[in-house]
Structure 1
Amino acid sequence: MLPRLALPLAAIVLLTSACAAAPADDDALEFRDTYTCGTCPPNSPRTNDFRLPELRRSGLPNAEGLYAVGLRDTNGTLYAFDAVDDEFVARDTNGANVASGGDLVGWDLVVSDGVNTIDIHIRAHDAEIDSKADNGDPISAYALAFDTDEVPVETLNLCPDFRDEPDRPTVTLIVGERYDPEGKLVIANQPDWVTLACEDEALFKMKHLNYGPNDDFDGLGAPATVAQRQATIKMITADYCGSGYSFTAQGTHVHWENHSRHVAAVGLPDDAKFEAAWTADGALCLGTPRLVEVADVELMCELPPCDAPSYPGAEWYTWDGE
């Protein structure tokens, strides 16, 4: 059995990168939320902004040097770490599935930086989170928490926006795909990798909209294409120019609707202002941005005004949430 040593709190808290906003006034917009719309969902400028964004099934380190040591049961027995069908799986020495999904509640996910280890407590599991798409299956999420090295010890949710709710399921898994947070890009066909996506951030929202690489998108078992997933991330993060720069702030509300209309713009007011049509490359056109001014976007790229009811090739359409 491995020693149960705690990493310093600073080694597990969220990354210190600030929310991206308008070039003209980053500091003012970083903490600005707009909650004027009761029916449209909030967007996010962050694709996966916390300290444990991904792990490898093989046990090799991720970019931060952290790796999964294994899954420890309530009796202290350590099993091999795996993930299949967007669920954690504990395997014995013969590779047999010992426990997965909700059966792992009460267990610990043990991770290490090569020197110290930390126990990530699996405190809850919810397999029935309703999809935001009318043709989507429910998704699942785990409540993952860790203990601080402070006195008195605090147990905190792994997701930064929910630190004070350690029993809230906020982490959904995306197996077999990675994401570039700087470019807001999909890195497909990565079978060794498991992305841990936090609620209220773009990758969780993408999966919640039935666009995950392991979701039944077409009703016949096939997922959305890489281009469709990337368009979804660009739309959620307001990456108009397709460069990876997000012209929004956490919690800003926006109405969205996809091409198939399985995700409809619920409660769209008659006077809603059209924002953009979206592809994997960003916005095809720009109307009224959800947070900044058109002039702010023009400092980075030139986009034609939106002057048509629909755009060939667009995966998403958005309207501001005012």
Structure 2
Amino acid sequence: MYKRTYHCVIAAALAFAAACDQGEPADAADDEVALRPYACPTWKCGFNSAEVNGRSIRELNLDGAANGDGVRIVGFLAPAGLLGNYRLEVEHDALVARNPSGQTLRGAQLIGATILVQGPGLLSLPVPITVLGYQEIDSWAEGAPKVPTYALLYPDLAALLGLRNVCSGNLLDTLASAATVIGGETYDLDDKTVNPGRSRWLTIACAGSAAAKMRLLGYGPQSSATTPAQRQATLKMVTADYCGGGESYTQNGTEVHWANAEGTVAPETFAELGELEAVWTEDGALCLGSPRIAGTLVDCGLPSCAGLSLDEGEWVTYAAEP
């Protein structure tokens, strides 16, 4: 059985399910490209990359090594009233905390827990990031378990109520401002590539980001049997990186339909499929038919998709019926 999905997503182009994209502007034959409007749900059109005080916490090291912005984890505090020297870990693409006695906190048990991070410089003070909410949402893949998500907030005197969400920057809807977690892997946003084998690193993937969509599509490195090549193909597809060099050819609000080789993701039964857009591999589009944004001109020579199918790639995408 396929899991039927309808997505309005940021940076579209994954499989046979329908989605709405957001990405870098595409080169188009005309200055104006008409896009049909869609109301994008929380996890389909997303928020900014996870940040604290303007510094990225999208990638964090569990052992305290600094990320590319110089931010590192300097401590972890269990929810109030719980003692026992808990340490933060990531298992099956979910946060857990474990103490030397073997006691483990996971899921809603982590509400109230605090991750202390610190930026570069001797005068930088630790900033507490609190797990304010927890929710499990449906995966977009047939047969996959629910996906854990976390509302993460930190103090900011200039923000509403003195708190700011690491993803959305406001408190108007804390659950909508949630993130999922990916363990043992990071992602190059410029090249749209996977950095596997980073066992003590975690990625905080805000709702609507390409990494969060990859996780929801059932391609988490710890929570699935997928390979780095399959996950990279997914990132290329989500971001419409046709040429494979990192340039995204999609815009927010662009509808696309997708399906994967495993058969766990397929279009809605009511979906109106247009022409085949592309067959996707870890190197980008194997071929290019009808781009998801009409009139798009790409900076590489790609063959026609005539005679090709999902058998040749990890994903296949179709433009929406005009």
**Of 211, 229, 232, which aligns to 2:231?**
229
**Of 137, 147, 156, which aligns to 2:145?**
137
CA 1:161–1:183: 2 relative to 1, 3 Å: farther
**Of 77, 86, 103, which aligns to 2:93?**
86
- Asked whether the 8 Å contact 2:93–2:221 carries over to 1, the reply is no
Q: Identity across aligned pairs (percent)?
A: 34
**Of 157, 160, 165, which aligns to 1:149?**
157
SS at match of 2:70: coil
Counterpart residue number, 1:71: 76
Amino acid at match of 2:131: I
For 1:87-236, what aligned pairs fall within 5 Å after superposition?
87-92=94-99, 94=100, 96-114=102-120, 115-127=124-136, 129-150=137-158, 153-160=161-168, 164-168=172-176, 170-216=178-224, 223-236=225-238
- Asked whether the 8 Å contact 1:255–1:268 carries over to 2, the reply is no
- Asked whether the 8 Å contact 1:112–1:118 carries over to 2, the reply is yes
Unaligned runs of 5+ in 2: 1-21
Structure 1 residue 63, shift from structure 2 partner: 1.0
Separation (CA, whole Å) in 2 of partners of 1:234 and 1:163: 32
Structure 1 residue 230, shift from structure 2 partner: 0.7
Residues 186-222 of structure 1: CA distance to partner in whole angstroms, max 9, x if unpaired? 1111101011111111111111111111123xxxxxx
**Please, which moves more after superposition, 238-247 or 310-319?**
310-319
Separation (CA, whole Å) in 1 of partners of 2:171 and 2:35: 19
Structure with the bigger RCO (C-alpha within 8 Å, sep 6+) is 2
- Asked whether the 8 Å contact 1:278–1:315 carries over to 2, the reply is yes
SS at match of 2:149: strand
Amino acid at match of 1:82: E
SS at match of 1:171: strand
Structure 1 residue 145, shift from structure 2 partner: 1.5
- Asked whether the 8 Å contact 1:47–1:184 carries over to 2, the reply is no
CA 1:42–1:289: 2 relative to 1, 3 Å: farther
**Cα RMSD over matched residues?**
3.3
CA 1:124–1:271: 2 relative to 1, 3 Å: closer
Structure 1 residue 33, shift from structure 2 partner: 6.4
Structure 1 residue 267, shift from structure 2 partner: 3.8
Amino acid at match of 1:241: C
Amino acid at match of 1:80: R
Separation (CA, whole Å) in 1 of partners of 2:181 and 2:257: 25
Separation (CA, whole Å) in 2 of partners of 1:196 and 1:151: 21
CA 1:169–1:142: 2 relative to 1, 3 Å: farther
Counterpart residue number, 1:293: 295
Amino acid at match of 2:318: W
Amino acid at match of 1:144: L
- Asked whether the 8 Å contact 2:116–2:127 carries over to 1, the reply is yes
Amino acid at match of 1:184: K
**Of 255, 258, 261, which aligns to 1:256?**
258
Separation (CA, whole Å) in 2 of partners of 1:172 and 1:104: 14
Separation (CA, whole Å) in 1 of partners of 2:264 and 2:165: 32
- Asked whether the 8 Å contact 1:43–1:252 carries over to 2, the reply is no
Separation (CA, whole Å) in 2 of partners of 1:49 and 1:28: 31
**Of 39, 45, 65, which aligns to 1:60?**
65
Residues 253-298 of structure 1: CA distance to partner in whole angstroms, max 9, x if unpaired? 211111122100114645512211111111111111112524x21x
CA 1:301–1:71: 2 relative to 1, 3 Å: same
Counterpart residue number, 1:22: 26
SS at match of 1:272: strand
What's the TM-score once normalised by structure 2's chain length? 0.79
Unaligned runs of 5+ in 1: 1-17, 217-222
Separation (CA, whole Å) in 1 of partners of 2:170 and 2:289: 34
SS at match of 1:205: helix
CA 1:250–1:152: 2 relative to 1, 3 Å: closer
**Please, which moves more after superposition, 48-57 or 226-235?**
48-57
Structure 1 residue 96, shift from structure 2 partner: 4.1
- Asked whether the 8 Å contact 2:49–2:209 carries over to 1, the reply is yes
Amino acid at match of 1:310: S
CA 1:123–1:160: 2 relative to 1, 3 Å: same
